[in-house]
Structure formats: structure tokens, C-alpha cells
């Protein structure tokens, strides 16, 4: 039986270096205690925030010291727990860190309400008195603009203390799906038993044997059927928390509240959904090409991940993937390229799947640490693209951290998903231009089309579903597993019109953790649209456009997202980048159709 290894069986060189955060658990515990002792120092400033410019600066600097250390204390057990979600010791440490974060947030809950008592003229006068406050200008502007949605100090303190409770649906879902659930075992075409996991499910859905794909698909979604009430309840509670929080803060909707956090107009969301909806015929054509490539009378749900080439493609081992990704980013400049290579040598990446490891992939870290990338690398083209994607996030953090003070270094997801997808797009161009292996080239083209399908179209489908389930609660209607199934199946049918929905695909919403993240997924779709436009500029104009893009990365959170992206020459308030991305998708569909003689 093909099985997932234990973590101890994986070579250290393919594991991230968490000792660079804390040498050991004892060092973590000591810092944890130190932070606890300093929280009372933060409380001592209550009622004094606007006392003087000097006092405000003192508090801002103390707040930074505490929260920078708190970030390290919270990140370490989170990453240790991701290594093996069954490890209850690190779960407990993560819970303690979360409680400490809540305590610190509660201790400073007075800060922004008091700061909002100042006018813009008052802030300018403080800066004139204490010039070191000038570095906080964007932060002050961001706080003051939120005045209509900030409650009293007492209410803000209660909301801060409740954060552990309001995060419960997401944490319960994560424990259920990563630590407790199993997803079945199937027999592969060679007669060997294969364990299905969240990490390998998509790859198994690209197996050339259609009957095997069907068995994997049905087995996987049958497991989800057994927990549909639990998952349905957890998601319903998460949606209600989003809606209630928005109401408490005087927003018209949960979506408006979520987007206002980063100052992205809801019109950007609507423009994305409308523009993608206008281009669904391109997605339908992709499905029809798959139907032709597979030689089937009717495309079904277990066929949707299949390559247009009809097979899984060549293996791409991790070391080869890392080499190609580094070479691909050369258009962004030698310094960018060298920094990425050094990061890979410094064990930024936790490469392979192990038993109990969290599914998926992410880039994490803090202002005072190196980046950390979690993967479940599967030796395929898709995993190579995931590596490029997460390295884009990590390089973004590195450049922003170098260029910005702590309070302006953290960037919004809206911008982050551009950085990750620029790397993917550059990788596509590099491989199509430099790799002679025709099989690999064909699979690269197919993979990039899949990235467009899953990022521009699928994520917009998710965004539409997310909007609808929140609107249902806002309209006073019930959210049940049956309601989730029905709404999801309707959307899936619209987006994948040529395919017949089979094998429990209406339950796919259960396996999407991003629905707990409060209007997060739309930014994947806007990200790929902006990235395609940026890469087009870089390849056409060279270093001047690359320099603009690097300035966008270095800006971090020193401006609002639309303003940051404008530094790279892209206007995301317009439908043009989305229309352009859909146009590129159509061009690649034409190219692959001609290459494989599918029409």
C-alpha cells in the first residue's frame, strides 16, 4: 500500500528551519512569559493616548516591541502544529499564544478609539511637535477613516476578548479535516492500495485511468458526506459571526466590512464577478476541449482536473523545480533572483507531505524571522508551480520588511496574491521558451491553463458562493447542509456547463477552508489578472517595468492596496486587467487546441 511517511523519515534538508525562530520550546516559553509581564505596561497608557505627542510615540514604540515578540511567539507553535496536526503539545502552545494575543489586544483596545478623538489637524500638529511620528502617517489615516465603525473602548475590549471564541468554527474545521478525518483507500490501476489525502486528491484526479478517477472522487466525497452536518454547522456559525461582526461595526453587509478592512471598494468585487461572468464561454470551451481530449461523450466531475494531454505528465523532482523557478525570475533583477536562491538554501521550505501534516501550502513568518513555506510536494508540474507561488509571497515579505518599518511592512492579501502569481506567470514564460522536452512543454501550457481556470474562474465562483451564503443569513434565511449543497451545485453547473455534475461534487464546498476567511478568495482572481498585466509589462519594457514592480513589493502596507498596485502601472478599479487576463486564457486555449489537434 502506498502510504504517507512519518515526519522522522524525511531528510532534514527538506524541512524548514524553525529553530531560527526559537532554539527550543524552553526559549519559546521564556519569551511567552516576558510578553505576559509587559502587557500591564500597555494597560498603563489607557486614557493617555492623546495626552501629548511624546506620550503617543512612547506608546506606539512599546506596542511595537510587544506585538513583534508576540508574532514570533504565535508563529512558532502554529508552524510546529502544521508539521503534525496530531501533536497536542503544540496545539496547546498555539492556544496559549492565541490567548496571549487576545489579552494583548484587549489591553490595547482603548488605543484606536482614543486616537480617533483626534482630528486630522490634531495629528498634523502632533507630527510637527514630534517629527518621529511622521513615519506613522498612513497608519494614522487608516485609523481615522475607520472612526464610523469603531465602538467604545468598553465594547472594543469585549470584542478583543471574544476573538478566541469567534475563531472557533475555523479552528474546529481545521482540526476535523486535518487531524481527525481520513479520506478512504482505493485500489489503483496496478492493483495497489492508495490512501487518499487532501494533499494528493487533486493529483489522483489526473490519473489517466477514468474508472480509477471515478472511484477516488466518489470515495473522497463519500467521506465528506459523513461529516456534512458538522462541517455545515461550523461554516454556518462562521458566516453568522461575519454578519454579526459587521452589524456591530455599523456596516451594511459582511462583504462591505471585510473589504473595508483593506479599503478596497466593493465595486472592485462586483467588477470581478460581472467580468468573469461575461467570459464564462471561455471556461466552457476549456471544458469542451477536455471532453474532446479525453474522447468521452460526456465530461463528468472526476474529469475536470484532467490534463488536456490525457496523462499526468512527467515527474518534476523538487530540486529541479527549485532550479527552474530561480532561473525564471531573472527578469525581476539579479538581486531578486539571488535573494530567492539564498532563501532556498536557508531552508525556507518544508517540502514533503508527512502523516498528520496540514494539507495545502502557505507562506508564513514574521517581521523578525525568515519566511517559512509549507508544502506537500508531489513531484509534478503542479507542485512546481505551487513552489513558485509561495516563493512569490516570501520574497514580497522580504522586500517589504527591508524597505518599511514594522507598522507599514504587512501587506494586504489583495496585493499578496499578485506577487505569488507573477512568479507563476514568469515560470510559464521561462519553461515555454527554454525547455526542449515537448512533453514537458505541453504540460506546462496545460498547467498554466489550469491555473487560469482554477484561479480566475474557480475562485470567482467561490467568491460568488461566499457572497450568496452571507446574503442568505443577512436576509434572515437558514443555512443548512442542504442549502449549501443546492447553492453550490447551481453555481458549479453555471461555471462548468458542458460537464455533468457527478460523484457528490455538490459537497465540494465542505473541503474549501477559505470560506472561513471572510471574503478572502476573490483576491486570488484579481491577483492573477494584475499579475498577467505586470508580467506583460516587464517582458515588453524590461528593467523600468521590473523596477516599478519591485517598488510595489517594497511598498508593503504603506499605502492602500489599489494605490500600491498602481505603482506597478495597473489600475484594478477597472475591468481592463480582468478582460486582458481572460484574453490571455483564450489565446492559450487556441494554442493548445492547435498543438493537440483538438478542433
Contact between residue 82 and residue 374 where contact means Cβ atoms under 8 Å apart: yes
Distance between CA 425 and CA 528 in Å, rounded?
A: 9
User: What is the tens place of the pLDDT at every residue in 449-506?
Assistant: 998 999 999 999 999 999 999 999 999 999 999 999 999 999 999 999 999 999 999 9
**Does residue 440 contact residue 384 with C-beta atoms inside 8 Å?**
no
Bridging pattern class, strands 349-352 and 193-195: unpaired
CB 66 within 8 A of CB 39: yes
DSSP string covering 520-549, please? Answer: -THHHHHHHHHHHHHHHHHHHH-HHHHHHH
Candidate list 103, 156, 236, 390, residue with the active-site label:
390
What span, in angstroms and rounded, lies between the C-alpha atoms of 421 and 329? 12
Q: Nearest 5°: CA angle at 313, between 587 and 210?
A: 95
In the predicted structure, residue 359 carries a pLDDT above the cut 70: yes
Based on the residue annotation, tell me whether 390 is a catalytic residue of this protein: yes
Digit-coded pLDDT (tens) for 154-202: 888 788 778 778 888 999 999 999 889 999 999 999 999 999 998 889 9
DSSP characters over 371-431: -EEEEEE-SSHHHHHHHHHHHHHHHHHHHHHHHS-HHHHPPPHHHHHHHHHHHHHHHHHHH
* Mean pLDDT, residues 225-251: 96
User: Which of 427-441, 453-467, 546-560 is least confident?
Assistant: 427-441
- Going from N- to C-terminal start, the domains of the chain cover 7-11+20-166
Average pLDDT of every residue of the chain: 94
Alpha-carbon distance of 392 to 381, in angstroms, equals: 17
Question: What is the architecture, at CATH level 2, of domain 7-11+20-166?
Answer: Up-down Bundle (1.20)
Q: What is this structure's pTM? A: 0.86
Section 306-335 average pLDDT? 92
Amino acid at each position: 500500500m502506498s502510504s504517507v511517511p512519518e515526519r522522522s523519515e524525511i531528510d532534514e534538508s527538506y524541512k524548514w528551519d524553525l529553530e531560527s525562530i526559537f532554539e527550543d520550546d524552553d526559549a519559546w516559553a521564556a519569551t511567552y512569559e516576558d510578553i505576559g509581564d509587559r502587557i500591564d505596561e500597555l494597560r498603563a497608557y489607557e486614557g493617555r493616548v492623546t495626552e501629548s505627542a511624546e506620550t503617543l510615540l512612547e506608546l506606539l514604540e512599546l506596542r511595537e516591541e510587544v506585538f513583534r515578540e508576540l508574532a514570533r511567539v504565535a508563529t512558532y507553535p502554529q508552524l510546529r502544529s502544521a508539521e503534525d496536526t496530531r501533536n497536542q503539545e503544540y496545539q496547546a502552545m498555539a492556544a496559549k499564544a492565541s490567548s496571549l494575543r487576545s489579552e494583548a489586544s484587549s489591553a490595547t483596545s482603548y488605543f484606536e478609539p482614543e486616537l480617533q478623538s483626534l482630528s486630522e489637524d490634531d495629528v498634523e500638529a502632533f507630527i510637527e511637535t514630534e517629527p518621529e511620528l511622521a513615519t506613522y502617517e498612513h497608519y494614522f489615516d487608516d485609523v481615522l477613516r475607520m472612526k464610523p465603525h469603531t465602538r467604545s473602548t468598553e465594547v472594543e475590549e469585549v470584542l478583543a476578548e471574544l476573538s478566541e471564541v469567534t475563531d472557533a468554527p475555523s479552528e474546529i474545521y481545521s482540526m476535523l479535516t486535518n487531524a481527525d478525518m481520513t479520506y478512504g483507500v482505493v485500489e489503483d490501476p496496478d492493483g495497489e492500495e492508495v490512501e487518499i489525502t487532501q494533499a494528493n486528491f487533486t493529483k489522483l484526479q489526473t490519473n489517466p485511468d477514468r474508472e480509477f478517477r471515478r472511484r477516488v472522487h466518489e470515495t473522497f466525497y463519500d467521506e465528506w458526506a459523513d461529516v456534512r452536518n458538522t462541517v455545515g454547522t461550523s461554516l454556518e456559525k462562521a458566516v453568522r459571526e461575519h454578519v454579526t461582526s459587521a452589524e456591530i461595526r455599523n456596516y451594511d453587509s459582511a462583504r462591505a466590512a471585510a473589504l473595508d478592512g483593506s479599503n478596497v471598494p466593493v465595486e472592485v468585487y462586483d467588477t470581478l464577478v460581472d467580468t468573469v461572468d461575461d467570459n464564462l464561454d471561455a471556461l466552457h470551451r476549456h471544458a469542451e476541449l477536455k471532453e474532446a481530449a479525453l474522447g468521452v461523450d460526456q465530461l463528468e466531475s472526476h474529469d475536470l482536473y484532467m490534463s488536456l494531454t490525457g496523462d499526468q505528465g512527467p515527474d518534476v523532482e523538487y530540486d529541479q523545480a527549485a532550479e527552474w523557478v530561480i532561473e525564471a525570475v531573472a527578469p525581476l533583477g539579479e538581486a531578486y533572483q539571488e535573494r530567492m536562491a539564498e532563501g532556498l538554501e536557508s531552508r525556507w521550505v518544508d517540502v514533503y507531505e508527512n502523516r498528520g501534516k496540514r494539507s495545502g501550502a502557505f507562506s508564513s513568518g514574521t517581521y523578525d524571522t525568515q519566511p517559512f513555506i509549507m508544502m506537500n510536494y508531489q513531484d509534478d508540474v503542479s507542485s512546481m508551480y505551487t513552489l513558485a507561488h509561495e516563493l512569490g509571497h516570501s520574497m514580497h515579505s522580504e522586500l517589504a520588511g527591508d524597505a518599511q518599518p514594522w507598522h507599514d511592512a504587512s501587506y494586504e492579501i489583495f496585493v499578496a496574491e499578485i506577487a505569488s502569481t507573477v512568479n507563476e506567470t514568469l515560470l510559464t514564460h521561462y519553461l515555454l521558451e527554454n525547455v526542449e522536452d515537448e512533453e514537458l512543454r505541453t504540460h506546462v501550457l496545460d498547467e498554466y491553463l489550469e491555473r487560469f481556470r482554477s484561479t480566475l474562474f474557480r475562485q470567482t465562483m467561490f467568491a460568488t458562493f461566499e457572497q450568496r451564503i452571507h446574503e442568505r443569513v443577512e436576509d434572515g434565511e437558514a443555512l443548512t447542509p442542504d442549502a449549501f449543497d443546492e447553492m453550490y451545485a447551481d453555481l458549479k453547473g453555471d461555471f462548468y456547463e458542458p460537464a455533468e455534475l457527478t460523484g457528490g461534487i455538490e459537497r465540494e464546498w465542505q473541503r474549501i477552508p477559505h470560506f472561513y476567511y471572510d471574503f478572502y478568495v476573490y483576491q486570488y482572481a484579481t491577483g492573477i489578472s494584475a499579475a498577467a498585466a505586470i508580467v506583460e509589462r516587464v517582458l515588453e519594457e524590461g528593467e523600468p517595468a521590473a523596477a516599478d514592480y519591485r517598488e510595489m513589493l517594497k511598498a508593503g502596507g504603506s499605502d492602500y492596496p489599489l494605490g500600491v498596485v498602481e505603482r506597478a502601472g495597473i489600475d484594478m478599479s477597472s475591468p481592463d486587467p480582468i478582460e486582458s487576463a481572460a484574453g490571455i486564457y483564450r489565446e492559450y486555449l487556441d494554442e493548445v487546441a492547435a498543438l493537440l489537434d483538438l478542433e
